[in-house]
Amino acid sequence: MSTPGTPSAGASEQEVPVCYRHTDREAHIRCQRCNRPICPDCMQPASVGFQCPSCVREGSKGTRSARTAYGGQRSGDPTLTSKALVALNVAVWVAIVATGGSRSTLVDRLALTPRGFTRNFVDGTSQTVAGVADGAPWQLVTSMFTHVSPVHIGFNMLVLWTLGPQLELAVGRVRFLAVYLLSGLAGSAAVMWLSPVHVSTLGASGAIFGMLGALLVMTVKVHGDVRSIATWIAVNFVLTFLVANISWQGHVGGFLGGLLVGAAVVYAPRRRRAAWQAAGLGAVAAVVAVATALRVAQLA
């Protein structure tokens, strides 16, 4: 029997918990993940309580970045790419307007002309216009960002501003740019083969039609209501064939390119999806490049 106020002979002093990382420091808080004691220097705020640095690192490794349904990195601002594309198109248009509008030499340099020609003026002077087959391959790309008419650029940018963010939200920024640029190049290839060789073509319409084609493929893939996107496509094709001086060749080529690129993105198998998508996009790019190269060789 023990005397009051005197500890029992078998009793031991209660041990003070110490931090598992700093054993010389007392620790009265435990990690919410591993339950080990941690000192104030090791306490990392978590959604509930605190975690130790080791568990925070492990959690970061296990947390995957937010991805879209088709494997792309989810954009923090899905309007950003469309804004940049609109700004680039507008900047080129302003430069053309400031240097003479339709008479600006920028138009001859940037617009897509399959084969060059000599333009004769009423005052007896002449000017040589270079084409893709004459050593101006950049026109395949620059023509996609070149406009002269305010109505032309206004309509194209309206469609881009309306549908571009939707497409980027669905597939991510990189895949959206792939759709836009490859569709535009497909439109350029169609112009090379189907348009008169001495006629210049310009505008973002090939890329715009490619966006429409890709959105149509995605809507079909998820068994969605295609009426809205089909209306956009129908209206644009009606204008293509009813309004004078519109390049139906670029529109059709861009639309077909968008269908192919869209299919490569949304129908890629889940297993190794990124590799399948890259292979599909590479195949479309190769077909466009070979078709363009063959036409250039033929014209040259």
82 is catalytic: no
152 is catalytic: no
Active-site choice (147, 195, 200, 251): 251
Active-site choice (183, 188, 195, 205): 205
Residue 148 contacts residue 92 (beta carbons within 8 Å): no
Residues facing residue 50 across a β-bridge: 45
- The DSSP secondary structure of the chain, one letter per residue, reads -PPTTS--TT--PPPPPB-SS-TTSB--EE-TTT--EE-GGG-EE-SSSEE-HHHHHHHHHHPPPPB-TTSPBPPSSTTHHHHHHHHHHHHHHHHHHHTTGGG-HHHHHHSB-SS-EEEE-TTS-EEEE--GGGT-TTHHHHGGG----HHHHHHHHHHHHHHHHHHHHHH-HHHHHHHHHHHHHHHHHHHHHHS-TT--B--SHHHHHHHHHHHHHHHHHTT---HHHHHHHHHHHHHHHHSTT--HHHHHHHHHHHHHHHHHHHSS-STTHHHHHHHHHHHHHHHHHHHHHHHHHHH-
Residues serving a catalytic function are 205, 251
